[in-house]
């Protein structure tokens, strides 16, 4: 007697047939790491596709090499190098620009693609019957909704009600309806409330949660794709500056996925890995808690995908600083002051005006790290601007009122710069020795073992670097699975 086909294989067959009907073709992780390897016919058709459209071809733009108009492709990732005239430190601060990613203008769409597609091609998600649930503080859930819509399934965004109005406006346009946007209590730092909402949704087997904080694909995608982008950018900069070293990679923790790029850069260049959080909620630094306005970084727990034992430095930045610099660069008077008093050229000032809150957080952390370590002009610090200022336009008037008493003039611009950029203190910075790494690692127990049901063995195995290095073979396995899925869907 022939045994009945497994549920997984039946789901996979439905997914393949679904992809065939929609004419879907999925990019591999290798293609997103090196987009010049994407098939010529795909690249030629992309030229006519709006980067903000729910078009399957935009999956092939989920990488760091999009041109400024997000239509073409460039040799080096979009970036800006911040000079000493701005930062006050000799080390060049190199910022990769996440706003060039398609559909959401933020690099979190990469994490969303990475978390869903391996499960899809293996038969672990049925796009014809299940809803993809995306827990987030704003950008990841938008990326998930965009990926879901392209793949012809329903995406559910779970995010705090206190996030920026622009996020909810975007979700209203992209979701199937109000039921696909779940607003949880609180704001940026209320991650547990997001988990609680997802636990309720998971009671229905039609809902599949793609938890970026626990999906190891988030870590691996950034290791392979963001890490490669940073390496290629570093090689490009070193052609003009042969003595340049890559001293550190800095990223706000958030889901900790982006920090995976630091693992690749440490392997290749010995770069320090620096995790950043809000001073108002210093969980990694002081076992602390609180609320803040650095939207997009998440906190009050240690993500399961954070390779804590490979992290070298933890430091904190206040949202008073990120708010002030967002206003400084978001207002005409502030931009004029920067050009006149700091001697910054028009192009650089325009680039600064496009940074979101978490981008400013990363920039400030990079300058303080460079000052603390005494880095010189041959020692670059790499970081990312996760998203752009367009997501926070509604915040500007509120911040002018709240932080500057309703008036932002040249004197306020000078004060903002002096207090929040030029003052290079490192009071809230800690270099992690073995004991400190153990302390931070152990904090994760309470979220993952006690609250989320991760086995103690699965939690503990993450202490060793052999675990994290062993994960990397999954990338080739996933790419093989994507290639086979594409071949069947195109047959």
Q: Which structural domains are found in the chain, ordered by start? A: 79-102+219-431 (3.40.50.1100)
Q: Is the dihedral of CA 447, 360, 155, 161 positive or negative?
A: positive
In the prediction, which pLDDT does 190 show?
75
DSSP letter for 73, please.
B
Q: Provide the mean pLDDT of the chain.
A: 93
Q: Does an H or E element contain 430, and which?
A: strand 429-431
* Residue that is written with structure tokens 């290749």 in the block: 268
Between 4 and 338, the higher pLDDT residue: 338
Burial class (CB in 10 A: 0-12, 13-18, 19+), 243: exposed
**What's the mean pLDDT in 311-325?**
95
In the prediction, which pLDDT does 4 show?
42
Instruction: Read off the tokens for 423.
Output: 């003052």
- Give 69-98 pLDDT, tens digit per residue: 999 999 999 999 999 999 999 999 999 999
**What's the mean pLDDT in 327-342?**
95
Lowest mean pLDDT among 185-189, 195-199, 306-310, 451-455: 185-189
In the prediction, which pLDDT does 2 show?
39
**What's the mean pLDDT in 115-131?**
96
In the prediction, which pLDDT does 5 show?
45
Question: Which residues lie below 8 Å from residue 442, measured CB to CB, with a gap of 6+?
Answer: none
Question: Taking a C-beta distance cutoff of 8 angstroms, is the pair 294, 361 a contact?
Answer: yes
Lowest mean pLDDT among 95-104, 222-231, 419-428: 419-428
Confidence of residue 164 (pLDDT cuts 50, 70, 90): confident
- Give 57-71 pLDDT, tens digit per residue: 999 999 999 999 999
Q: Does an H or E element contain 192, and which?
A: helix 191-201
Query: Which of 357, 421, 367 is CA-nearest to residue 248?
Result: 367
Neighbours of 267 (CB within 10 A): 13
In the prediction, which pLDDT does 392 show?
87
Question: Taking a C-beta distance cutoff of 8 angstroms, is the pair 447, 454 a contact?
Answer: no
Confidence of residue 136 (pLDDT cuts 50, 70, 90): confident
Question: Taking a C-beta distance cutoff of 8 angstroms, is the pair 484, 38 a contact?
Answer: no
Question: Taking a C-beta distance cutoff of 8 angstroms, is the pair 233, 94 a contact?
Answer: yes
Question: Taking a C-beta distance cutoff of 8 angstroms, is the pair 136, 159 a contact?
Answer: yes
Backbone angles phi, psi at 189, to 5 degrees: -90, 5
Residue 488: C-alpha distances to residues 19, 22, 32, 236, 482 (Å): 9, 13, 21, 39, 10
In the prediction, which pLDDT does 1 show?
35
Between 323 and 136, the higher pLDDT residue: 323
Whether residue 180 is predicted with pLDDT greater than 70 in this model: the reply is yes
Instruction: Name residue 93's beta-bridge partners.
Output: 82, 381
Instruction: Read off the tokens for 462.
Output: 């993450």
Q: Does an H or E element contain 234, and which?
A: helix 227-240
- Give 239-275 pLDDT, tens digit per residue: 999 999 999 999 999 889 999 999 999 999 999 999 9
- Give 193-243 pLDDT, tens digit per residue: 888 999 999 999 999 999 999 999 999 999 999 999 999 999 999 999 999
Strands 429-431 and 313-317: antiparallel
**Phi-psi region at 2: left, alpha or beta (left = phi > 0; alpha = psi -120 to 50):** beta
Q: Find the helix packing angle between 473-490 and 7-22, rounded to 10°.
A: 60
d(CA 119, CA 206): 15
Question: Taking a C-beta distance cutoff of 8 angstroms, is the pair 321, 360 a contact?
Answer: yes
Backbone angles phi, psi at 429, to 5 degrees: -135, 135
In the prediction, which pLDDT does 77 show?
98
In the prediction, which pLDDT does 292 show?
82
Question: Taking a C-beta distance cutoff of 8 angstroms, is the pair 229, 63 a contact?
Answer: yes
**Phi-psi region at 23: left, alpha or beta (left = phi > 0; alpha = psi -120 to 50):** left
d(CA 487, CA 467): 32
Residue 169: C-alpha distances to residues 125, 391, 394 (Å): 28, 10, 11
d(CA 317, CA 371): 14
Q: Buried b / exposed e across 194-207, counting CB within 10 Å, b at 16+?
A: bbebbeebeeeeeb
Question: Taking a C-beta distance cutoff of 8 angstroms, is the pair 304, 462 a contact?
Answer: yes
In the prediction, which pLDDT does 422 show?
86
Query: Which of 74, 67, 81 is CA-nearest to residue 348?
Result: 81
Query: Which of 327, 328, 347 is CA-nearest to residue 82?
Result: 347
Query: Which of 115, 112, 76, 34 is CA-nearest to residue 382?
Result: 76
d(CA 461, CA 249): 25
d(CA 162, CA 190): 10
d(CA 295, CA 179): 23
In the prediction, which pLDDT does 68 show?
95
Whether residue 174 is predicted with pLDDT greater than 90 in this model: the reply is yes
**Angle of CA points 215, 221, 225, to nearest 5°:** 165
- pTM (2 decimals)? 0.95
């Amino acid at each position: 007697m022939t045994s009945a086909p497994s549920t997984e294989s039946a789901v996979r067959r439905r997914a393949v047939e679904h992809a065939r009907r929609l004419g879907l073709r999925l990019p591999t992780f290798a293609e997103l790491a090196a987009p010049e390897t994407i098939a010529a016919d795909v690249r030629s058709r992309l030229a006519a596709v709006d980067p903000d459209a729910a078009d399957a071809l935009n999956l092939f733009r989920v990488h760091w090499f999009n041109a400024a108009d997000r239509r073409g492709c460039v040799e080096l990732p979009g970036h800006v190098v911040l000079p000493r005239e701005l930062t006050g430190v000799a080390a060049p601060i190199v910022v990769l620009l996440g706003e060039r990613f398609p559909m959401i203008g933020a690099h979190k769409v990469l994490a969303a693609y990475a978390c869903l597609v391996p499960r899809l091609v293996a038969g672990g998600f049925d796009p014809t019957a299940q809803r993809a649930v995306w827990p987030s503080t704003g950008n990841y859930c938008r990326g998930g909704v965009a990926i879901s819509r392209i793949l012809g399934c329903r995406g559910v965004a779970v995010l705090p009600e206190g996030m920026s109005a622009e996020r909810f406006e975007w979700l209203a346009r992209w979701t199937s309806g109000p039921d696909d946007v779940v607003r949880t209590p609180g704001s940026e730092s209320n991650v547990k409330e997001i988990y609680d909402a997802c636990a309720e949704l998971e009671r229905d087997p039609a809902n599949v949660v793609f938890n970026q904080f626990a999906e190891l694909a988030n870590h691996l995608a950034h290791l392979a794709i963001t890490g490669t982008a940073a390496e290629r950018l570093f090689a490009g900069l070193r052609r003009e500056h042969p003595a340049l070293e890559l001293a550190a990679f800095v990223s706000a923790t958030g889901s900790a996925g982006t920090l995976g790029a630091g693992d690749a850069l440490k392997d290749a260049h010995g770069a320090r890995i620096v995790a950043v959080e809000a001073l108002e909620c210093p969980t990694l630094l002081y076992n602390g808690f609180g609320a803040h306005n650095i939207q997009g970084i998440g906190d009050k727990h240690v993500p399961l995908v954070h390779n804590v034992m490979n992290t070298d430095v933890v430091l904190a930045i206040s949202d008073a600083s990120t708010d002030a610099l967002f206003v400084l660069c978001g207002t005409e008077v502030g931009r004029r002051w920067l050009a006149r008093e700091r001697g910054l050229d028009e192009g650089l000032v325009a680039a600064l005006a496009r940074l979101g809150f978490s981008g400013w957080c990363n920039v400030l952390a990079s300058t303080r790290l460079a000052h603390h370590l005494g880095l010189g002009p041959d020692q670059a610090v790499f970081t990312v601007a996760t998203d752009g200022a367009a997501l926070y336009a509604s915040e500007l008037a509120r911040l002018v009122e709240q932080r500057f008493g309703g008036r932002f003039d040249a004197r306020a611009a000078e004060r903002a710069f002096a207090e929040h950029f030029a003052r290079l203190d490192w009071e809230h910075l800690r270099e992690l020795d073995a004991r400190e790494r153990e302390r931070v690692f152990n904090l994760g127990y309470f979220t993952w073992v006690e609250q989320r049901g991760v086995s103690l063995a699965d939690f503990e195995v993450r202490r060793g670097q052999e675990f994290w290095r062993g994960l990397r073979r999954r990338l080739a396995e996933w790419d093989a699975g994507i290639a086979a899925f594409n071949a069947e869907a195109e047959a």
